[in-house]
C-alpha cells in the first residue's frame, strides 16, 4: 500500500513541475510580432461596429478603416485641374518636401462640354472660373497644373478644351493609362500597405489597376471604363477582360483594395458616416444601383472581386490620380 502511495506522489510532483515550467515559459519567452502590414494588422486597422470578422466573404458598411495619413509640415499649396472623360475638376493640396499631402479644397465640374452642349467661349469661361478660384485660395500661378486623363483623350471634344487652354498660355499634360494608374497608386496607397494591397481607379473612359512589385516598381494596367455601354460592348466581354487583368495581381497584394473614381464615389456616398477620409464599400451584390453607368461599374467591381478574392475595398475621398501627378513633379 505504501509503495503505491509513493509512486502516485512522484507522478503528482512531476505534473506540478511541468505546469509551473509551462507558465514560466509563456510569461518570459517573447513572442514574434508582425513588422509590416499583413492580414493581422489589417484586422486591427479595420474596426467592426458589429464585431464580425474582417475575413467574412462580404464587406460591410459597418467596417471602419482607421488609418490616418501623416499631415504635411510647413507645406506649400499646389493646384491641379483634371480634364476627365466626364468633365473637369480642380484640387488644391498642401504638400511638404517629404511628399506628405493634405487636400484643402476640391471642386467637381460638369459634363456639358463632353456632351457637345457648350461653345468654346463656355469652355474658356469655365476654365477661367476654376483658375480664378484656385488663385484666390492662395495658390501661386506657377503651381497650377493641367492634366488630361487617358480616358478623356479618347473623347473628341477634349481637343477643344486643350486648344482653349493653350490659347490661354497654359501647359497641358497628357498621360497614358499606365502612367495614370501609377499616379493613382502614388496618391492613394499608404506606404505601409504597399506589400499587401492594390489600387483601382474606375473612370468613365477606362479603369486602371495598379500595385507595387517586389522590386519597388509600380505596375499599371488598363481595362474598360464605366461608360463601355455607350460603345455597345456587352457586360460579359467587359467582365472577362477585367477579370483577366485582375488575375495578374500577385496574390499577396490582394488583402485590401484602395479605390477611387466616379463609380466608387457614388457607392461610398451611400454608406459614408460623417466626413471620414476612408469609407469601406459594401460587396457589389449588396448594392441596388440604377442607371447604365452604375450598373456597368458594378459589373467591373464584381469582376475585380471575383478574380482577386479580395473582400476589403476602401474608397479614399481625398485622392485623385492628378494629385499623384503633383507628387511626381
CATH number at residue 81: 3.30.420.40
Does residue 126 contact residue 107 with C-beta atoms inside 8 Å?
no
Cα–Cα dist 314/50, whole Å: 18
- On whether both 123 and 235 belong to a single domain, the answer is no
- pTM of the predicted model as reported, rounded to 2 decimal places: 0.77
Q: Which domain holds residue 214?
A: 63-67+177-327
At 144-177, the pLDDT tens digits run 999 988 877 877 777 888 888 888 888 899 999 8
- On whether both 184 and 240 belong to a single domain, the answer is yes
Q: How many domains does the chain have?
A: 2
The Cα-based distances of 289 to 266, 300, 305, 307 in angstroms read 10, 13, 17, 22
pLDDT at residue number 193:
97
Residue 30 lies in a domain: no
- On whether both 185 and 309 belong to a single domain, the answer is yes
pLDDT at residue number 104:
96
**Would you say the C-alpha torsion 111, 319, 128, 158 has a positive or negative sign?**
negative
At 7-40, the pLDDT tens digits run 656 666 766 667 666 666 555 544 443 345 555 5
Residues 6+ apart with CB under 8 A from 70: 100
**Among 147, 174, 201, residue at a domain's last position:** 174
Identify which of 159, 184, 185 has the alpha carbon closest to the alpha carbon of residue 172. Answer: 159
pLDDT mean values, one per 10 residues, the chain (329 residues)? 56 67 56 47 47 38 78 95 79 95 86 63 79 93 90 77 86 91 95 96 93 96 96 97 98 97 94 92 95 97 98 96 94
Residue 120 lies in a domain: yes
Residue 10 lies in a domain: no
3-state secondary structure string, the chain?
A: CHHHHHHHHHHHHHHHHHHHHHHHHHHHCCCCCCCCCCHHHHHHHEEECCCCCCCCCCCCCCEEECCCCCCCCCCEEEEEEEEECCEEEEEEEEECCCCCEEEEEEEECCCHHHHCCCCHHHHHHHHHHHHHHHHHHCCCHHHEEEEECCCHHHCCCHHHHHHHHHHCCCCEEECCHHHHHHHHHHHHCCHHHCCCEEEEEECCCEEEEEEECCCCCEEEEEEECCCHHHHCCCHHHHHHHHHHHHCCCCHHHCCEEEEEEHHHHHHHHHHCCCCCCEEECCCHHHCCCCCHHHHHHHHHHHHHHHHHCCCCEEEECCCCHHHHHHHCC
Q: Which three cell numbers stand for residue 318?
A: 481625398
Residue 47 lies in a domain: no
- Please give the biggest Cα pair distance in the chain: 111
Residue 8 lies in a domain: no
The Cα-based distances of 276 to 51, 54, 257 in angstroms read 20, 19, 17
> Which CATH number is 277's domain given?
3.30.420.150
- On whether both 187 and 170 belong to a single domain, the answer is no
- On whether both 228 and 100 belong to a single domain, the answer is no
Amino acid at each position: 500500500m505504501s509503495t503505491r502511495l509513493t509512486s502516485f506522489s512522484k507522478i503528482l510532483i512531476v505534473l506540478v513541475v511541468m505546469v509551473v515550467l509551462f507558465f514560466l515559459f509563456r510569461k518570459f519567452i517573447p513572442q514574434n510580432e508582425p513588422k509590416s502590414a499583413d492580414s493581422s494588422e489589417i484586422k486591427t486597422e479595420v474596426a467592426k461596429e458589429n464585431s464580425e470578422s474582417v475575413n467574412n466573404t462580404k464587406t460591410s458598411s459597418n467596417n471602419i478603416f482607421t488609418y490616418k495619413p501623416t499631415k504635411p509640415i510647413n507645406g506649400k499649396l499646389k493646384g491641379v485641374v483634371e480634364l476627365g472623360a466626364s468633365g473637369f475638376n480642380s484640387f488644391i493640396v498642401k504638400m511638404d518636401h517629404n511628399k506628405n499631402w493634405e487636400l484643402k479644397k476640391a471642386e467637381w465640374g460638369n459634363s456639358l462640354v463632353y456632351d457637345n452642349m457648350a461653345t468654346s467661349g463656355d469652355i474658356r469661361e469655365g476654365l477661367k472660373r476654376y483658375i480664378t478660384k484656385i488663385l484666390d485660395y492662395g495658390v501661386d500661378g506657377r503651381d497650377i497644373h493641367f492634366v488630361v486623363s487617358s480616358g478623356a483623350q479618347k473623347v473628341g471634344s477634349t481637343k477643344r478644351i486643350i486648344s482653349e487652354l493653350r490659347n490661354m498660355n497654359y501647359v497641358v499634360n497628357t498621360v497614358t493609362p499606365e502612367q495614370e494608374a501609377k499616379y493613382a497608386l502614388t496618391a492613394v496607397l499608404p506606404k505601409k500597405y504597399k506589400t499587401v494591397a492594390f489600387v483601382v481607379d474606375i473612370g468613365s473612359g477606362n479603369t486602371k489597376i495598379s500595385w507595387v512589385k517586389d522590386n519597388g516598381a509600380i505596375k499599371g494596367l488598363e481595362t474598360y471604363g464605366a461608360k463601355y455601354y455607350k460603345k455597345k460592348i456587352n457586360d460579359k466581354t467587359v467582365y472577362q477582360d477585367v477579370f483577366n487583368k485582375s488575375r495578374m495581381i500577385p496574390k499577396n497584394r490582394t488583402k485590401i483594395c484602395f479605390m477611387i473614381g466616379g463609380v466608387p464615389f457614388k457607392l461610398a456616398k451611400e454608406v459614408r458616416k460623417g466626413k471620414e477620409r476612408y469609407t469601406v464599400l459594401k460587396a457589389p451584390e449588396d448594392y441596388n444601383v440604377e442607371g447604365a453607368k452604375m450598373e456597368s461599374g458594378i459589373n467591373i467591381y464584381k469582376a475585380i472581386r471575383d478574380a482577386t478574392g479580395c473582400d476589403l475595398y476602401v474608397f479614399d475621398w481625398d485622392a485623385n490620380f492628378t494629385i499623384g501627378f503633383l507628387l511626381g513633379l
